[in-house]
Chains A and B, each alone.
Chain A
Amino acid sequence: MEKIKFQIDNKECEALYGQMLVDAARDNGIYIPTLCNMQGTNPCGSCRVCTVKINGRYATACTTPVACGMEIESETDEIQEIRNALIELLFNEGNHFCPTCEMSGNCDLQALGYRFDIMAPRFSYQWPKRAVNTDCPYLIIDYNRCIRCKRCIRSIKDEQGKSYFAFLNRGDKIEVSIDTMMAKNMSKELAELAAKNCPVGSILLKGTAYKTPIGERKYDKNRIGSCVENAQLTAKMEELK
Chain B
Amino acid sequence: MKKPIIATASLAGCFGCHMSFLDIDERILKLVELVDIGKSPLTDIKAFTQRYNIGLIEGGCCNSENVRVLQDFRENCDVLISLGECAIMGGLPALRNGIPIEDCLNEAYRDGPTVQLNKEAIMPNDDELPMILDRVYPAHEVVKIDYFLPGCAPRADLIWEALLALLSGDKMDLPYELIKYD
Residues of B within 8 A of A172 (CB): none
Q: What is the bound-complex CA distance between A91 and B156, given in angstroms?
A: 25
Query: In A85-122, which residues have CB < 8 Å from any B CB?
Result: 91, 95-101, 104-105, 110, 113-114, 117, 119-121
- Asked if B88 and A99 sit within 8 Å, CB to CB, the answer is no
B102 at interface (Cβ–Cβ under 8 A)? no
Residues of B within 8 A of A167 (CB): none
Give the size category of B's interface with A: 20 to 34
Residue of B82, B95, B138, B180 near A125 (CB, 8 A) is B138
Query: In B126-163, which residues have CB < 8 Å from any A CB?
Result: 135, 138, 140-141, 145, 147-150, 152
Residues of B within 8 A of A97 (CB): 85, 89, 91-92, 94-95
Chain B minimum-CB-distance residue to A221: B177
Chain A minimum-CB-distance residue to B135: A127
- Asked if B180 and A101 sit within 8 Å, CB to CB, the answer is no
Q: What is the bound-complex CA distance between A210 and B45, given in angstroms?
A: 40
Give the size category of A's interface with B: 20 to 34
By secondary structure, the B interface counts as mixed
- Asked if B98 and A120 sit within 8 Å, CB to CB, the answer is no
A125-B90 in contact given A97-B95, A98-B85 (Cβ < 8 Å): yes
Chain A minimum-CB-distance residue to B177: A221
A124 at interface (Cβ–Cβ under 8 A)? yes
Query: In A115-159, which residues have CB < 8 Å from any B CB?
Result: 117, 119-121, 124-125, 127-130
Chain A minimum-CB-distance residue to B16: A99
Residue of A119, A124, A129 near B141 (CB, 8 A) is A124
Residues of B within 8 A of A127 (CB): 94, 97-98, 135
A223 at interface (Cβ–Cβ under 8 A)? yes
- Asked if B82 and A120 sit within 8 Å, CB to CB, the answer is yes
Q: List 25 A-B contacts (CB under 8 A).
A: A91-B89, A95-B97, A95-B98, A97-B85, A97-B89, A97-B92, A99-B91, A99-B152, A100-B92, A101-B182, A104-B182, A105-B182, A114-B180, A119-B148, A119-B149, A119-B179, A120-B82, A120-B150, A125-B89, A125-B90, A127-B94, A127-B98, A130-B98, A220-B177, A223-B176
The 3 A-B pairs with the shortest beta carbon distances in the complex, nearest first, are A99-B152, A98-B181, A120-B148
Taking beta carbons and an 8 Å cutoff, which residues of B are in contact with A? 82, 85, 88-92, 94-95, 97-98, 135, 138, 140-141, 145, 147-150, 152, 176-177, 179-182
Taking beta carbons and an 8 Å cutoff, which residues of A are in contact with B? 91, 95-101, 104-105, 110, 113-114, 117, 119-121, 124-125, 127-130, 214, 220-221, 223
